[in-house]
Amino acid sequence: MKAIVPTAGNGTRLYPHTHTKPKPMVRLAGKPILGHILTNFRATKVDEIVVVVGGPMQNQVIEYAQENYSDRFELTFVEQESPQGLGHSIYQAESAVRGDSAVIALGDMLFQNGYRTFLEAHDALSNVDGSIGLKRVTEPHRYGIASVENGRITELVEKPVDPPSDLAISGVYVIEDTGHLFDSLEHLLEKNRRGAGGEYQLTDALNLMVSQGSVLGMFKVDDWYDCGRPKTLLEANRITLEQMGTGASETSEGNVIIEPVDVGTNVTINESVIGPYVSIDDGATIINSIVRDCIVGRNTTLRDATLTESLLGDNSTVEGEPNSLNIGDNSSISISQ
């Protein structure tokens, strides 16, 4: 089985961090978002990953995947030259995937349950051409929405003004009839049928499949984390650190470490309280600071700072007494009292 992972979006909701790295390369709980996605595929029957890349920073994605996952997967990279929506992104994988069964996993989504659970749920369905993970939500107008009868999807619509149900598409899809999927995507592009946001929507292609007789089932998704926004990125960091079970809290050498915490290599921590829910990338320095519920970037320096619910990019410096920050790479902030 193959997996398609689209990574070519602009990541505007995570500015300023995505000015200097693709969204799937933003780090949480010890590795980039993309790393968590690919790691979760290790325990599945997926043997080839097709990564859709794009933009001037795509080499970061390619180099990271090749360096860390080429031992487990055959890796194929296809380029989306311009971002025109998720459907357009998936269509770029046609030459690598058509005719094979595939799971589509969005490059900014993490799940409390792994992909193995979803694939097992799909395999338990009978006589389907594919299946989609769904979850009930309180604001269905913000999502792609499915109507379901007797366990079969009857309609799909992206971000409807008047939602027909509260079953949201969660960002994981298993497709057996990939030929029909790519035919449907091609139809949207040829007819210039753009959907929500003026983009080619995967939801619209899947709905076209249903209208033409494809049988799509559904499986339950308990919780997902859209890592494309600062608030949910921090939430995903918290949940992932808890699942990692990083050890017991400790006090040593003037520091207090309150687990769960993930600390990279060559990190210096002096006279500080760290945790809970802190991810610290390689080469960071934290001195006389209190850091809780934060993601601290590579080679970042904190001195005399108290931080909570903050995202700090690589090579940034914070000195003083801020409470909550969202700063990108190579930033420097000094706050005097």
pLDDT digits (tens, 9 = 90+) for 28-53: 888 999 999 999 999 999 999 999 99
The list of the chain residues with pLDDT below 70 reads 11-18, 246-253, 321-337
Strand 130-136 and strand 216-220: the pairing is parallel
Distance (Å) of CA 163 to CA 141, 196, 206, 220, 319: 6, 14, 17, 19, 48
Residue 109 in 3-state DSSP? Answer: strand
- CB-neighbour burial class of residue 319 (10 A; exposed 0-12, middle 13-18, buried 19+): middle
pLDDT at position 337, please?
Answer: 46
User: Are the C-beta atoms of 63 and 34 separated by less than 8 Å?
Assistant: no
pLDDT at position 282, please?
Answer: 92
pLDDT at position 335, please?
Answer: 54
Cα separation, 234 vs 244, whole angstroms: 15
User: Are the C-beta atoms of 224 and 109 separated by less than 8 Å?
Assistant: yes
pLDDT at position 108, please?
Answer: 84
pLDDT at position 319, please?
Answer: 87
End-to-end Cα distance, the chain: 59
Q: Which two tokens stand for residue 201?
A: 């929507």
Distance (Å) of CA 222 to CA 168, 219, 225: 11, 10, 11
pLDDT at position 27, please?
Answer: 87
Cα separation, 306 vs 298, whole angstroms: 19
pLDDT at position 246, please?
Answer: 60
pLDDT at position 99, please?
Answer: 96
pLDDT at position 167, please?
Answer: 96
CA angle, corner 262, sides to 68 and 37, nearest 5? Answer: 40
Residue 264 amino acid letter: G
CA angle, corner 129, sides to 128 and 135, nearest 5? Answer: 75
pTM of the shown model: 0.89
pLDDT digits (tens, 9 = 90+) for 290-303: 999 999 989 999 99
Distance (Å) of CA 325 to CA 84, 95, 183, 226: 31, 43, 46, 20
Q: Which two tokens stand for residue 167?
A: 């079953």
